């Protein structure tokens, strides 16, 4: 009968097997080719006692906790997919994610996405538990980069997703080809005959947003008679703002015939604003989103959008933190991984209405 509420330790196994605790440690960790005899006794005792190693102790001993801080909420389909990717890679490597975030809720009318002022505390919760590295989602990385110094000053591996941190942080990055995505959309809309564009760009401090915007704008700007109007959002809650921006774009004197929304969530708001004005998508207004969220193909009409390989992005991010943590990834200069994107053509974009006074369909698009 073991004393009181004591854990089942290697010491216990040692006693059972008649060896020293050190030997148990060696055998259980497989670092030692002990004699088959003692080895067997130890293994059996461990089995019998249902021994389980204490990774806390291992952590303070080895400096590795096999825990990764993941500051990212299950915000929507896209981010959940990324979480799946992270999870799978970590689990396969015998690591676990500690998932934290700093806003109370997610998107959709029922949710909010406001910072709650506890960013520093959350960071400290990770540091105090000595995670081996962290993965950060864009709003956090962009809004609270000061706090991120808490990580970098302790030389914790950092990977950001969809937002590049300044070089001083020495953070790795995983994203998708945002600089390609904007161009894909622009080319597509131009080829349909559109010449007046609106763009709901998202936060001006988020690199994913900036790059989508730039590549879109640049591509459109090359066409002589094309016009475009871009609306940015201030850092912070951009979702509720999107509906107002959509209304603003549609109220323009020279109303755009196509709107590029930098996320599918924004696109949804564009649909609403269009409906308010009795504009039909795509007959009166073409809309293109970004991300290929799960609801995109069920929107009505189904949303044309740019698909990012979310699950793979999550995997990649996890692989990088693990690589940094274990030292297997030695490349000094921060990694900037960009996975390929793909235009998913559905039903929300078509040729502009004939009366629109600019481009009017593929056939005539070359004769201004």
Chain residues binding DNA by CB under 7 A are 6-7, 9-11, 18-23, 25-29, 31-35, 37-39, 51-54, 57-58, 60-62
Whether residue 68 contacts residue 135, with contact meaning beta carbons closer than 8 Å, is answered with yes
Q: Does 26 bind a second copy (CB under 8 A)?
A: no
Q: How many CB atoms lie within 10 A of CB 34?
A: 17
* 294: partner contacted, choices DNA, a second copy, none (Cβ within 5-8 A by kind): a second copy
User: Which of these, 84, 101, 91, lies nearest to 136 by C-alpha position?
Assistant: 101
The residue among 97 and 182 lying less far from a second copy, judged by its C-beta, is 97
Instruction: Give the footprint of a second copy on residues 291-320 (CB under 8 A).
Output: 294-295, 298-300, 311
Q: Does 98 bind a second copy (CB under 8 A)?
A: yes
Over the Cα atoms of the chain, what is R_g? 27
The residue among 33 and 333 lying less far from DNA, judged by its C-beta, is 33
The residue among 81 and 232 lying less far from a second copy, judged by its C-beta, is 81
CA 269 to chain centre: 21
Instruction: Give the footprint of a second copy on residues 266-295 (CB under 8 A).
Output: 294-295
Please state the closest distance from residue 170 (CB atom) to DNA, in A: 23
Binding residues with a second copy: total (CB under 8 A)? 51
Q: Does 346 bind a second copy (CB under 8 A)?
A: no
Q: For the chain, first and last CA: distance in Å?
A: 92
The residue among 30 and 224 lying less far from DNA, judged by its C-beta, is 30
User: Which of these, 67, 55, 72, 57, lies nearest to 122 by C-alpha position?
Assistant: 72
Distances (CA, A) of 288 to 195, 204, 216, 265, 320: 15, 20, 12, 11, 32
Please state the closest distance from residue 33 (CB atom) to DNA, in A: 5
Q: Does 106 bind a second copy (CB under 8 A)?
A: yes
Beta bridge partners of 260: 199, 288
Q: Does 110 bind a second copy (CB under 8 A)?
A: yes
Among 10, 23, 65, 325, which residue sits at the site for a second copy (rule: CB under 8 A)?
Answer: 65
Please state the closest distance from residue 40 (CB atom) to DNA, in A: 10
* 362: partner contacted, choices a second copy, DNA, none (Cβ within 5-8 A by kind): none
Q: Does 3 bind a second copy (CB under 8 A)?
A: no
Give the Cα separation of 236 and 353 in Å (integer). 36
Distances (CA, A) of 104 to 205, 241, 263: 21, 18, 21
The residue among 69 and 181 lying less far from DNA, judged by its C-beta, is 69
Cis amide linkage into residue 162, ω under 30° from 0: no
Please state the closest distance from residue 109 (CB atom) to a second copy, in A: 9
Instruction: Give the footprint of a second copy on residues 116-135 (CB under 8 A).
Output: 118, 121-122, 124-130
DSSP tag of 335: P
Q: Label the pairing between strands 342-344 and 305-307.
A: antiparallel
Instruction: Give the footprint of a second copy on residues 136-165 (CB under 8 A).
Output: 153
241 Cβ contact list (under 8 Å, min separation 6) = 233
Give the Cα separation of 54 and 58 in Å (integer). 6
* 26: partner contacted, choices a second copy, DNA, none (Cβ within 5-8 A by kind): DNA
Q: Which helix (H) or strand (E) holds 314?
A: helix 310-326
- Where do contacts with a second copy occur on this chain (CB under 8 A)? 50, 52-57, 59-60, 65, 67, 73-75, 77, 79-80, 83-84, 87-88, 91, 94, 96-101, 104-106, 108, 110, 118, 121-122, 124-130, 153, 294-295, 298-300, 311
């Amino acid at each position: 009968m073991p004393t009181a509420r004591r854990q089942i330790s290697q010491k216990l196994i040692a006693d059972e097997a008649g060896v020293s605790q050190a030997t148990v440690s060696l055998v259980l960790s497989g670092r030692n080719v002990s004699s088959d005899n003692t080895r067997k006794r130890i293994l059996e005792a461990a089995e019998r006692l249902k021994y389980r190693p204490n990774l806390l102790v291992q952590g303070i001993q080895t400096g590795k906790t096999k825990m990764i801080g993941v500051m990212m909420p299950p915000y929507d389909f896209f981010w959940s997919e990324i979480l799946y990717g992270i999870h799978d890679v970590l689990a396969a490597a015998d690591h676990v994610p500690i998932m934290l975030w700093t806003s109370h809720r997610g998107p959709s009318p029922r949710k909010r996405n406001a910072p709650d002022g506890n960013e520093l505390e959350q960071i400290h919760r990770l540091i105090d538990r000595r995670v081996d590295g962290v993965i950060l989602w864009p709003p956090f990385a962009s809004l609270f980069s000061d706090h991120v110094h808490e990580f970098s000053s302790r030389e914790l591996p950092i990977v950001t997703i969809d937002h590049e941190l300044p070089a001083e942080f020495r953070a790795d990055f995983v994203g998708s080809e945002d600089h390609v995505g904007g161009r894909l959309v622009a080319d597509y809309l131009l080829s349909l005959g559109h010449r007046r564009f609106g763009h709901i760009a998202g936060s001006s401090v988020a690199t994913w947003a900036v790059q989508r915007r730039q590549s879109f704008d640049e591509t459109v700007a090359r066409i002589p008679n094309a016009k475009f109007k871009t609306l940015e959002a201030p850092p912070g809650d951009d979702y509720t703002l999107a509906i107002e921006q959509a209304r603003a774009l549609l109220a323009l004197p020279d109303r755009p015939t196509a709107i590029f929304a930098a996320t599918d969530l924004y696109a949804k708001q564009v649909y609403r604003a269009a409906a308010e004005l009795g504009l039909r998508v795509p007959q009166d207004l073409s809309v293109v989103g970004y991300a290929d969220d799960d609801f995109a193909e069920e929107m009505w009409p189904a949303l044309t959008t740019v698909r990012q390989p979310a699950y793979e992005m999550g995997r990649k991010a996890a692989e990088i933190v693990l690589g940094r943590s274990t030292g297997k990834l030695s490349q000094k200069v921060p990694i900037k991984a960009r996975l390929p994107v793909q235009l998913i053509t559905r039903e929300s974009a078509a040729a502009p209405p004939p009366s629109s006074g600019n481009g009017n369909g593929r056939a005539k698009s070359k004769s201004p």
